[in-house]
Structure formats: structure tokens, C-alpha cells
Amino acid sequence: MTAEVSKPYDAAGKELLQTDPAAWAAFLGAKRPADKVEIIDSELSTITAAADKILRIKDDPPWLINVEFQSWRDPSLPWQLLKYNALLHDKYDESVASVLVVLTEKANSPAYNGRLKIEPPIGPAWEFGYSVIRVWELSAEDLLKGPLALVPLAPVADVERESVSEIVQRTETRLRREANPEMTTRLLVAIGVLLELRYGDMSATEFLEKYPEVRDFAYFRRFADQGRAEGRAEGRAEGRAEGRAEGLRRTIVRQGRKKFGEPKPQHEAMLTAQEEAQLELLSEKLLDVNSWDQLLGINTSPK
């Protein structure tokens, strides 16, 4: 798996982080009142796109937590964490704690041991330290009883495969009971992404059989369609692709209507012209923009 492929999974982790920064800070070992924790942009996009969401702990003096969600095995990652740590410290002149959240056992590496030893040819040796959280080792029961922003991790925590459906059902029940519809949708999509990462097509099918109403969510659709194309006739494959694209368009319009209001004819025309791959990207982008124009890249600034 490449870094490019990992983006949807890492983005799911960052979506959870933004949902409740104080809950995540407490989970990472910095329990503070909600008004003492904020999420900020790293402003390092010209150097790296990886460290883009940072927790600031508003102590006196304030300090930062760089949370890196990892979905693929990368033995060089500790060196990247050291680079992000140094860049953030230089940017904000605040102490930085680095935390690596490994989302699946397949992404684990012996290199993720919390210590990066630096032994230069001359001068003293030293170590860069960071924390490591392995999601599959966490208690699903503890996550289910914890803050909503952590509940989506429960189905991919320390759970036997045959118990996944039950855990997902309990997760969905709690979200429906305690979260507003917009948050529920976002967290359900994050669950779909994480399930895809850990379990693949089998658990996706089981999940969709129990909860068909989420079939239109882009990530669940891709999750459920994995591995089904082999041996299918080309015409049938094209028909499915067309059906998926239409389903994506309906989903984007429905969710966008709730967030931005009714789309204009121009917006609908642009959506109609998009193919499945572009619609997938738009469905991901929808969580991060505030208008139809921003979603579709329409420049509204005066010339």
C-alpha cells in the first residue's frame, strides 16, 4: 500500500480527531477541559501534507500534540515524525509531543517502538521519543463506553471477527441515540473506511446486510464492491460502474443539500458530468468545504 492509497484511511482518523479534540487529548494522556483544547492546521502544507491537523493544549505555556494516523507499513515513519516534530516546534515555538496511531495490524512495523536512536559519527548519541497506540490492541468495550469521537474505533479494536457485526450494531445504536444526523453520517463513513482497512469484503457484506440504509455512502459502496469485478462481463461491469456513479451523485446531492442547501442548476450539471472516480473525490471533499461552489471548484472571487 502506498501513501497515496492510505489517504482515505488516514483522513478517517483525522475526521474523528476533529469531532471532539478534548476527548482525543484525554485519550492520548492530556485530559483537559474542552476550552483548553483546540485543533489547528499545521500550516506546513508547503513542506509536508502529512502533519495537517494538530491538537493544541492551552496550558501555560501551551504545547502541541502531533497525531499521526498510519494505515500502511513504513519503516521510515519514525524519521518523518522527528521531522514533523522539529518543523512544528520551529513554526509555533511550542513543545511538541508526537503520537503514532497505527490503525491496523497490517500497518505495524518493528520500527514503531517509540524510540528513534540517533548515533552521529561524532558527538553524543541521543533519542527521539514518541508514543504509539495500536488500535487492534484496544478494548472495544472501553471504546464503546467512551466519548463518541472514539466509538468508531471499537469495531476495529480487539474484536473477534465473528463479533464484528454485534459491535457495529452497538456502535450504530449509540451514534443514532446521541449524535445529530450530520455527525452520525460522518462517523458511520469513518467506520466504513476503517472496516475496509482491517477486514475487507467479507465483513463489509455482513455490515451492509444489517444496515442497507448506509449503502449509498461512498466509502461503504467501495468497501462492498471490493473484489467482485473478476470474471464479470465487460458490459455488466460498465453497467455497475454507471450505477455506482449515479448512486454517488444522489448521495452527494442529498448530503450536500443538508449541509449547503439546494444546488443550483449549474451545480447539478457539473455533478452529472463527473465520472465515478471524480465523484469519489467529491464525496470525500464534501466533509471539508462549506458551499457547493467550493465543492465543485467554482471561483466566485471578483476578477
pLDDT, residue 49, reads 46
Measuring CA to CA, which residue among 113, 108, 166 is closest to residue 137? 108
**Cell triple for residue 127?**
533519542
Residue 205 has pLDDT above 90, yes or no: no
| Longest Cα separation, the chain | 67
pLDDT, residue 224, reads 52
The separation between CA 101 and the C-alpha centre of its own chain, rounded to angstroms, equals: 11
pLDDT, residue 229, reads 39
Residue 297 has pLDDT above 90, yes or no: no
Neighbouring-strand partners of residue 56: 38, 64
**Cell triple for residue 273?**
458530468
pLDDT tens digits, one per residue of 129-163: 999 999 999 999 999 999 999 999 998 899 887 78
Q: How confident is the prediction for the chain on average, in pLDDT?
A: 80
pLDDT, residue 139, reads 95
Neighbouring-strand partners of residue 118: 126
* Distance (Å, whole) CA 72 – CA 9: 9
Neighbouring residues of 163: CB distance < 8 A, sequence distance ≥ 6: none
HSE-CB at 230 with a 13 A cutoff on CA atoms is: 2
| Residue 250 near residue 282, CB atoms below 8 Å | no
- If you average pLDDT over residues 75-89, what whole number do you get? 91
pLDDT tens digits, one per residue of 10-43: 677 778 888 999 999 999 999 999 999 999 887 6
pLDDT, residue 184, reads 82
Radius of gyration from C-alpha coordinates of the chain: 21
Q: What is the CB neighbour count within 10 angstroms for residue 193?
A: 27
* Distance (Å, whole) CA 58 – CA 33: 10
pLDDT tens digits, one per residue of 230-288: 334 444 444 455 567 777 788 788 878 878 888 888 888 888 877 777 887 787 787 77
| Selected residue with higher pLDDT from 229 and 181 | 181
Unique residue bearing C-alpha cell 509555533: 92
Neighbouring-strand partners of residue 64: 56, 96
| Selected residue with higher pLDDT from 127 and 295 | 127
pLDDT, residue 232, reads 42
pLDDT, residue 233, reads 41
